[in-house]
């Protein structure tokens, strides 16, 4: 079998895609790079917002046309597959295999079946399964828990991924050891709410460390860089900030979603904290990690949000001074309380507010990135940029970074970079040695064009 996987959504979905790919390879499948070369196409879906659902609907329509022309097995997995909305879509577009997020290990049974296979049960063995490390990559994701015990009124995740289940610390550290042995240098711990690790359905699990303790264990493993996502402010503790500040391997990067700066909107969202509590966490973070890079998530235009509510979100953005944010227009999702009980705002109101928030975010990102000019940053370079004369990567604070290739540095690795220029979304610099001196750059293939084109112009 020649298999091709398509992934939408979050880093958890990327991890799940790797897990299923490893299962397929163990069954003898060959992974191919295109739909045209495949006889099995599996789509890992996202249901958090309407846009990724629309993308899945579109590609399923194209795959149905292909099924009419040649033998082709089509599968769906992930959050959308767990919902009635996705199951109706599967019937309409003649999907052969349907796997919810808790049934990914059923992929072998699904392919052996001679009829339509739908696996939608949450299986306990998934939580103890350890996939092989990614081959030839410096970065890896490591899931530490699945599901969520919170019930935000806009969120479909508790329905699609179930209640929180923390993986055992032994399994986590075993998987980490395998990743390090494979050459991984940066690990991102994943979960719907990582800082609630070890407290499932409100009960502390015997023998499990707290999330702060787990961070320290991972940070002492020998890995170069540790990150984590995503956190819920309700479960954030000062000990987590302290662990980051005290452990050199843990990156000074915190992604703490706020969703809104208005207490009234936060109550309607059932976020379980208010603005004051959130700002207390920010103060703790900045106290323990003075050079912290702060990211957040914000939903614009939640049902009932007034202009005054939105102004409170803008003022919170200024009070915190985020480096960047993931900003979304509220997307009503069938099955959520906000979909059932609240009236959506007009699209044009939501869009106009989002544009204002994006403008504010660009101002802050430009200011924060400009402050990096002249500094030396530790950058994980992943490989060639769009222009093969350059390498691209990211700092410990997740700033996208581009550098020209230099003698001795033409491929992936962690290197020191002196930042020379910055935009709101990108840093540009030069590779430097241990003394901060620039490394000699490789000659460009077209030096005349290179002399006329700066990295900022290329962006």
Same domain, 275 and 191: yes
Q: List, in sequence order, the alpha helices (H) in 27-113.
A: 50-67, 79-82, 84-92, 107-112
Same domain, 393 and 245: no
Query: pLDDT grade, residue 444 (50/70/90)?
Result: confident
Global pTM reads 0.93
DSSP conformation class of 136: T
Same domain, 138 and 113: no
For 410, other C-beta atoms within 10 Å of its C-beta total: 14
Query: pLDDT grade, residue 113 (50/70/90)?
Result: confident
Structural element, H or E, at residue 267: helix 263-269
- What is the predicted pLDDT for the residue at 125? 84
Same domain, 129 and 277: yes
Q: Cα 379–218–230 angle (5° rounding)?
A: 75
Query: pLDDT grade, residue 446 (50/70/90)?
Result: low
CATH number at residue 419: 2.40.50
From 370, 400, 426, give the residue that closes a domain: 370
Same domain, 83 and 202: no
Same domain, 226 and 297: yes
pLDDT tens for each residue of 349-396: 999 999 999 999 999 999 999 999 999 999 999 999 999 999 999 999
From 327, 349, 370, give the residue that closes a domain: 370
From 86, 119, 152, give the residue that closes a domain: 119
Same domain, 329 and 382: no
Same domain, 193 and 278: yes
DSSP letter for each residue of 413-443 = EEEEEEEEEEETTEEEEEEE-TTSPBPPBPP
- Provide the mean pLDDT of the chain: 94
Q: Give the Cα separation of 79 and 100 in Å (integer).
A: 6
Per the annotation, where are the binding residues? 10, 46, 79, 148, 152, 155
**What does the radius of gyration of the chain's CA atoms come to, in whole angstroms?**
23
Same domain, 354 and 451: no
Q: Exposure pattern of 286-323 as b/e (b: 16+ CB <10 Å)? A: bebbeebbbbbebbbbbbebeeebbebbbebbeebebb
Same domain, 255 and 269: yes
Same domain, 355 and 423: no
pLDDT above 70: residue 329:
yes
How many domains does one find in the chain? 3
Same domain, 277 and 197: yes
- What is the predicted pLDDT for the residue at 449? 44
For 414, other C-beta atoms within 10 Å of its C-beta total: 15
Per the annotation, where are the binding residues for [4Fe-4S] cluster? 10, 46, 79, 148, 152, 155
Which residue range(s) make up the domain with 413?
376-458
CATH number at residue 41: 3.40.50.2300
pLDDT tens for each residue of 119-178: 888 887 888 999 999 989 999 999 999 999 999 999 999 999 999 999 999 999 999 999
């Amino acid at each position: 079998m020649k298999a091709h996987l398509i992934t939408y959504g979050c880093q958890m979905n990327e991890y799940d895609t790797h897990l299923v790919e490893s299962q397929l390879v163990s069954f003898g499948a060959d992974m191919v790079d295109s739909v045209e070369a495949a006889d099995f196409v599996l789509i890992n879906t996202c249901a958090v917002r309407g846009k990724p659902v629309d993308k899945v609907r579109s590609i399923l329509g194209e795959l149905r046309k292909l099924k009419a022309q040649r033998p082709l097995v089509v599968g769906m997995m992930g959050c959308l597959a767990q919902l009635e909305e996705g199951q109706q879509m599967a019937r309409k577009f003649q999907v052969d295999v349907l796997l919810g997020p808790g049934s990914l290990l059923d992929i072998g049974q699904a392919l052996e079946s001679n009829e339509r296979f739908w696996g939608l049960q949450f299986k306990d063995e998934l939580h103890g399964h350890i996939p092989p490390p990614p081959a030839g990559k410096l970065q890896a994701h490591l899931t530490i828990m699945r599901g969520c015990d919170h019930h935000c009124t806009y969120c479909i995740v508790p329905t699609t991924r179930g209640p929180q289940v923390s993986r055992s610390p032994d399994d986590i550290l075993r998987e980490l050891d395998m990743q390090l042995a494979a050459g991984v240098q940066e690990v991102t711990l994943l979960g719907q709410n990582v800082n609630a690790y070890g407290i499932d359905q409100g009960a502390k699990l015997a023998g499990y460390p707290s999330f702060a303790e787990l961070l320290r264990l991972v940070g002492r493993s020998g890995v170069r860089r540790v990150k984590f996502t995503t956190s819920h402010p309700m479960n954030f503790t000062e000990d987590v900030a302290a662990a980051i500040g005290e452990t050199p391997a843990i990156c000074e990067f915190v992604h703490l979603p706020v969703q809104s700066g208005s207490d009234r909107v936060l109550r309607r969202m059932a976020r379980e904290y208010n603005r004051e509590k959130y700002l207390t966490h920010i103060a703790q973070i900045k106290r323990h990690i003075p050079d912290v890079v702060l990211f957040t998530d914000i939903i614009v235009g939640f049902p009932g949000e007034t202009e005054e509510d939105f102004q409170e979100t803008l003022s919170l953005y200024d009070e915190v001074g985020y480096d960047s944010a993931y900003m979304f227009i509220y997307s009503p999702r069938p099955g959520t309380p906000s979909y059932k009980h609240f009236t959506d705002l007009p699209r044009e109101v939501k869009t106009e507010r989002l544009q204002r928030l994006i403008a504010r975010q660009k101002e802050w990102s430009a200011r924060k990135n400009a402050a990096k000019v002249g500094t030396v940053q530790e950058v994980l370079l992943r490989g060639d940029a769009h222009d093969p004369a350059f390498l691209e990567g990211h700092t410990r604070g997740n700033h996208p970074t581009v550098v020209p290739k230099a003698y001795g540095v033409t491929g992936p690795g962690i290197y020191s970079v002196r930042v020379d220029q910055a935009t709101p979304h990108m840093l540009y610099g030069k590779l430097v040695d241990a003394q901060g001196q620039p490394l000699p750059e490789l000659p460009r293939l077209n030096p005349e064009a290179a002399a006329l084109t700066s990295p900022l112009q290329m962006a």
